[in-house]
Amino acid sequence: MVIAIDGPAASGKGTLAKRLAAHYGLPHLDTGLLYRAVALTLLDAGFPLDDERAAARAAEALIADRLADPRLRERAMGEAASRISAVPAVRAALLAWQQRFAGNAVGAVLDGRDIGTVVCPDARVKLFITAAPEERARRRHRELADRGETATFDVILADIKARDARDASRATAPLKAAADAVVLDTTELDADEAFEAARAVVERAI
Ligand code: C5P
């Protein structure tokens, strides 16, 4: 069983994906980490983010070990990931990676931007998680503060809006709900309520 979860930055899709994976005993892949890891590899090697060939090489050579680096969670890395994720050769290299993960015998939960549309178009369950930008900024602000990052609410909100616009307008695999995805707006839901709503969608599909 493959569960595809897409949505914009800080919509709660990651938390939801983790909980669904634990509940159904499935492996989970946060695909944003792949793009973040490519961006970090590039920056660590001293390449500018607009070097598309270096970005493609980094994506082709990506190894799972890199996904554990705590720097991947930093705010700047989300921004950097969003920039290199518009490069078609980066997306092509990471597509193979993600499809290998999803193709294992038991199934998987993947969360990202194009899972239901491009990576796993045949997924049994497709969810598109969304929430008002202000609510997403509030959640991200709290999360970053817990990790000791000091960005203001306004900076985070501007960040989120810019990232949504870039992710939704790129030519290759833009952020959008698959035609057969169930859209779940979590603006008014806490994590438990969002989980229950998502679980109900999965239960209907299996
Ligand atoms: O989800 P997260 O914030 O970690 O993603 C970082 C960036 O990686 C996103 O803004 C998006 O540009 C890119 N991404 C993507 N496709 C995915 C997952 C993430 O383009 N499936």
Provide the token pair at 58. 């980094």
Q: What is the pLDDT of residue 48?
A: 97
Please state, in angstroms and rounded to a whole number, the distance separating the CA atoms of residues 17 and 142.
20
Q: Which residues of 168-185 are buried (b: 16+ CB within 10 A; e: fewer)?
A: eebeebebebbeebbebb
- Give me the sign of the Cα torsion angle 139, 81, 174, 123: negative
Q: What is the pLDDT of residue 105?
A: 86
Residue indicated by tokens 């979860």: 5
Please state, in angstroms and rounded to a whole number, the distance separating the CA atoms of residues 4 and 167.
17
Q: Could you tell me the distance, in angstroms and rounded to a whole number, from the CA of residue 167 to the centre of ligand 1?
A: 8
Q: What is the pLDDT of residue 25?
A: 97
Q: What is the pLDDT of residue 150?
A: 85
Q: What is the pLDDT of residues 181-195, one digit of tens each?
A: 999 999 999 999 999
Provide the token pair at 101. 């993960």
Probe target for ligand 1 pocket from 85, 159, 163, with the most ligand atoms within 8 Å of CB: 85
Q: What is the pLDDT of residues 34-55, one digit of tens each?
A: 999 999 999 999 999 999 999 9
Q: What is the pLDDT of residue 99?
A: 96
Q: What is the pLDDT of residue 149?
A: 86
Probe target for ligand 1 pocket from 42, 82, 94, 160, with the most ligand atoms within 8 Å of CB: 82
Pocket of ligand 1 (CB under 6 A): 9, 31-32, 35-36, 78, 81-82, 85, 112-114, 163, 167
**Which residue ranges in the chain fall short of pLDDT 50?**
none
